[in-house]
Structure 1
């Protein structure tokens, strides 16, 4: 959420893994036409300030970090000790 706001984007936030929280966030946007318009405009303007190459580089950097630090699944021989 901090990165989104820092870059000038806006949205409705919800608790990860909480379907009810996500449904409530979606409902807030659907039930408020002015909020939908505001979110659309703000996100459009925010997107204009960041070249797509920078966005791609940012995603690649974070994906590489996640892959480097992910927990490696145990091999079958590690799971079944003889």
Structure 2
């Protein structure tokens, strides 16, 4: 799996450009910068994953839910899906 451009930019800005684990830039090794980015991603995605998990549980337990219900839950929480034009 390839890394996202934003992730590469952040990690390379925090760590040495050649990403050698023992060389530091801004006082941070590549390993530490990567761990920091991983933690930020996990923290950012946690609310969305909770909404999806709750939806799947409700869908299995209650039934009668479809993908529009999930979209509505995400939008209500401030996570609208990207426009189809934005995906290109």
Q: Same fold (TM over 0.5)?
A: no
TM-score of the aligned structures, taking structure 1 as reference length: 0.30
Bigger relative contact order, structure 1 or 2 (CA pairs below 8 A, ≥6 apart):
1
